[in-house]
Amino acid sequence: MTRFKQMNNQDGLTLVELLGSIVILSIIVVSFLGFFIQSARTTKVSGEIIDASYIAQQQAEEIYNYSTDQNIDQLISQLQSEGYSYHKSGDTEEFSIAIDRYRVDLDLSPAKDSVGNRIEDLHTLLIKVFDSNNNQAAQVETKFFFEGSDDDEG
């Protein structure tokens, strides 16, 4: 008799229950998959911003090191010798160079006070880093003191 009861035991899963479980599990997995894809995109964008910011900071530190022992005219010559393209626009010195997969633009101009008068030997450095799609990826702005120029500008 016990043997007969074990054969009639119907505590297992039906095909409908099994398919329902698979559907529910699939919905959960697909929703989490969206989070993982978005996380991967965010990580990639963050990495690009970090790389561009690092390049901008590196350029600012390089200019700072030059400012400790060179005047502005010597800096211009130094940057040109390192392969930077150079253009002067008004009283702004504009430089550009490709580093890795980025384009770096440096704008160096005399600093001015609140009424527009030049501050002697103080210059504003604006560094912009652009990605391969020409979108700005990072920007750094700082001020440096340079000794007087070779031609003693006023």
Percent helix, strand, coil in the chain, to 5, is 45, 30, 25
> What is the distance between the alpha carbons of residues 85 and 74, in angstroms, rounded to a whole number?
15
Of the CA atoms within 13 Å of residue 141, those in its CB half-sphere come to 5
Does residue 66 form part of some domain? Answer: yes
Predicted local distance difference test score (pLDDT) of residue 107: 96
Does residue 2 form part of some domain? Answer: no
Does residue 92 form part of some domain? Answer: yes
Q: Is the pLDDT of residue 109 over 60?
A: yes
Whole-number CA gyration radius for the chain: 31
Does residue 98 form part of some domain? Answer: yes
pTM for the complete prediction?
0.73
Give the contacts of 132 (CB within 8 A, at least 6 positions apart).
101, 102
What's the structural domain count of the chain? 1
* 8 A C-beta contact, residue 145 and residue 67: yes
Q: Which domain holds residue 22?
A: 14-145
pLDDT tens for each residue of 23-64: 999 999 988 898 889 999 999 989 999 999 999 999 999 999
Does residue 9 form part of some domain? Answer: no
pLDDT tens for each residue of 136-150: 999 999 998 887 654
Does residue 44 form part of some domain? Answer: yes
